[in-house]
Amino acid sequence: MLTLEPLRADHADALLAFERENRAYFARTVPDRGDVYFTAAGFAERHRALLAEQHARVCRFHVVLEEEGNLIGRVNLMDLADGSAELGYRVGEQAAGRGVATAAVAQVCRLAATEYGLTSLTAVTTLDNPASMTVLARNGFTRVEDTTVGGRPGVRYVRRHLDAGPESP
């Protein structure tokens, strides 16, 4: 069973280890975060900034933990405004292909509706990331337009009516 926890200060070490371990894996399908992000000082500064955004209720960040308590992913809601937010997520290579992202996104969609009062979410992914497109479709997101993601061809998705549960893909 997966657990989503709101991001906390004490997640920093595990989250940095997760990001470092999966850097090359993530860079295959999403823009790399840059060398400074992966340094202890750079990561600590960014982590503090994320916690401040979360405290201000501008964003909601979550870590995904497996049964043993190991951090295996993250699911984030950014730029909360007017009942909407942008969804972002990543699951580590060791957990890929096991339904983790689909389950984590489903959980955050429920939280978005019940705890955060959101009514719709958007998400973007690169065209060369069919796994992410599948996760979004399985969670009731609809493809709405082509876009770019970090200079790469991508697609934007939307899910409206979060309180109604996922629509049929």
Which tens digit of pLDDT belongs to each residue from 51-106?
Answer: 999 999 999 999 999 999 999 999 999 999 999 999 999 999 999 999 999 999 99
Domain 3-164 has CATH 3.40.630.30: yes
- Contact assessment for residue 107 and residue 4, using Cβ atoms and an 8 Å cutoff: yes
- Whether pTM > 0.85 for this model: the answer is yes
What pLDDT band is residue 10 in, cutting at 50, 70 and 90? very high
157 pLDDT higher than 80: yes
Q: What is the pLDDT of residue 165?
A: 65
Largest CA distance in the chain: 44
The candidate with the shortest Cα–Cα distance to 139, out of 103, 113, 112, 95, is 103
Q: Cα–Cα–Cα angle for 89, 22, 103, nearest 5°?
A: 35
Q: Cα–Cα–Cα angle for 15, 64, 132, nearest 5°?
A: 100
What pLDDT band is residue 134 in, cutting at 50, 70 and 90? very high
Give the whole-number percent of the chain exceeding pLDDT 90: 80
Extract the tokens encoding 167: 């629509």
HEC sequence for the chain? CCEEEECCHHHHHHHHHHHHHCHHHHHCCCCCCCHHHHCHHHHHHHHHHHHHHHHCCCCEEEEEECCCCCEEEEEEEEEEECCEEEEEEEECHHHCCCCHHHHHHHHHHHHHHHCCCCCEEEEEEECCCHHHHHHHHHCCCEEEEEEEECCEEEEEEEEECHHHCCCCC
What pLDDT band is residue 169 in, cutting at 50, 70 and 90? very low
167 pLDDT higher than 80: no
Q: What is the pLDDT of residues 22-46, one digit of tens each?
A: 999 988 877 778 777 788 888 999 9
What pLDDT band is residue 151 in, cutting at 50, 70 and 90? confident
